[in-house]
Amino acid sequence: MIHDMNKKVVVVEDNRGLRDQLVQILGSAHDIRCVGAFACAEDALKEIPSRKPDVVLMDIKLPGMSGIECVAELKRLMPALQIIMVTVYEDSERLFRALKAGANGYLVKSSPPNQLLAAVRDVYAGGSPMSSHIARKVVQHFHLLGPAPAEAGNLSPREHQVLALLAEGFIYKEIGDKLKGGVAQVSNLLYRRASSLRVVRVLILSRSAGRPADWKSAIQQVGNLRYAKQARGETTDQHQFH
């Protein structure tokens, strides 16, 4: 029996021209297969559970239910589903609302096709892809929170190695090869340290552009958000193309 090893992707985008472009870009990859494209969240919610995609590319502004609301509902129905926001919006409010709803990555629509395909592969392997200037917004957000109690001392030697390599810009596969552990082990190690959104934050902060050696500080910044949210009575863990 031949097993389908393609990464199955669904597109949710109300602009027909862009929706067709996204489908075309996905179709150009040998290891990715588009299994559906929808113009609204309501249709996506009806069809996605039966099509069982691995990854969803989700716009934010949709007619009717918003993309962020759709993400939250899809995560409730299919917790393991990987969702990347693909949107023109770059403001911090929508960014953090999307991540809190359960989005695993965030790309702007000006991202080139090769970055889109790389993001699908990355999120499928357990990563959290983001456009570089979007990641910078998240880093700056944590910097504004000020110093936090150190958490890096609780890391195992292996976790130190993985985060140090992430900070240097290596992707999961490269780290797995270097440490002879494989992509799955790298991903599982990170998820043992922090669940869902906290993992995203650790990864983003560890890759802070221009500060590759300062990964311990990045981990401390993750703690800042937890303490700030606790003080507000909130929970800390939530499960153009050419």
Q: Whole-angstrom distance between the N-terminal and C-terminal Cα of the chain?
A: 38
69-73, 78-82, 138-142, 233-237: segment of lowest average pLDDT: 233-237
- The crossing angle, in degrees rounded to 10, of helices 215-231 and 196-206 is 140
Taking phi first (over 0 means left), then psi (-120 to 50 degrees means alpha), and beta for anything else, what does residue 148 get? beta
* Host domain of residue 208: 140-231
Given 130, 164, 197, the domain boundary residue is 130
Same domain for 218 and 158, yes or no, is yes
Alpha-carbon gap, residue 87 to 108, rounded angstroms = 5
Q: Which of 15, 193, 7, 27 is nearest to 84 (CA)?
A: 7
Q: Which of 193, 196, 187 is nearest to 238 (CA)?
A: 196
- pLDDT tens digits, one per residue of 173-198: 777 788 877 666 666 665 555 443 34
Instruction: Give the tens place of pLDDT for each residue, 68-81.
Output: 999 999 999 999 99
Strand partners, 199: none
CA torsion through residues 169, 171, 173, 176, sign: positive
Q: What is the CATH number of the domain that holds 156?
A: 1.10.10
DSSP H or E segment with residue 85: strand 82-87
Give the per-residue pLDDT at 205: 47
Indicate if 60 and 172 belong to the same structural domain. Answer: no
Condensed to tens digits (0 to 9), the pLDDT of residues 14-54 reads 999 999 999 999 999 999 999 999 999 999 999 999 999 99
Report pLDDT for 73: 96
pLDDT for residue 183: 62
User: Would you say residue 135 has pLDDT above 90?
Assistant: no
Residue by residue, DSSP assigns 107-118 as EETTS-HHHHHH
Could you tell me what percent of the chain has a pLDDT over 90? 42
* 155 vs 78: CA distance, rounded Å: 31
Say yes or no: 84 and 152 in one domain.
no
Mean pLDDT of the chain: 75
Distance, in Å, from the CA atom of 183 to the CA atom of 67, rounded to the nearest integer, reads 29
- Place 5 in a pLDDT band, splitting at 50, 70 and 90: confident
Number of domains in the chain: 2
3-class secondary structure, 98: helix
Whether residue 221 is contained in a domain is answered as yes
| 48 shares a domain with 155 | no
pLDDT reported for residue 154 = 60
Residue 240, in any domain of the structure: no
| Confidence at residue 171, expressed as pLDDT on a 0 to 100 scale | 66
Going across the sheet that includes 82-87, the strands are 32-38, 7-12, 55-58, 82-87, 105-108
| CATH code for position 43 | 3.40.50.2300
* 55 & 99 share domain: yes
